[in-house]
Structure 1
Amino acid sequence: MKKISARNVFEGAVKEINEGATTSHVLIDVNGNTITTSITNESVEELGLQVGKKVYAVIKSSEVMVAVD
Structure 2
Amino acid sequence: MKLSARNQLPGKVKHIDTGMVTAEVVIALDGGGEITSVITKKAVENLGLTVGKKVYAVVKSTEVMVAVD
SS at match of 1:42: helix
Q: What does 1:1-69 correspond to in 2, within 5 Å?
A: 2-30=1-29, 31-67=31-67
TM-score by length of 1: 0.89
Quote the offset at 1:35 in angstroms: 0.5
Unaligned runs of 5+ residues in structure 1 are none
List structure 1 runs of 4+ shifted beyond 6 angstroms: none
TM-score by length of 2: 0.89
Unaligned runs of 5+ residues in structure 2 are none
Give the % identical residues. 59
Q: Alpha-carbon deviations, 1:12-53, whole Å to 9, x = none?
A: 000000111100000001122100000000000000000000
Letter in 1 for 2:28: D
- How many residue pairs get aligned? The number is 68
Quote the offset at 1:64 in angstroms: 1.8
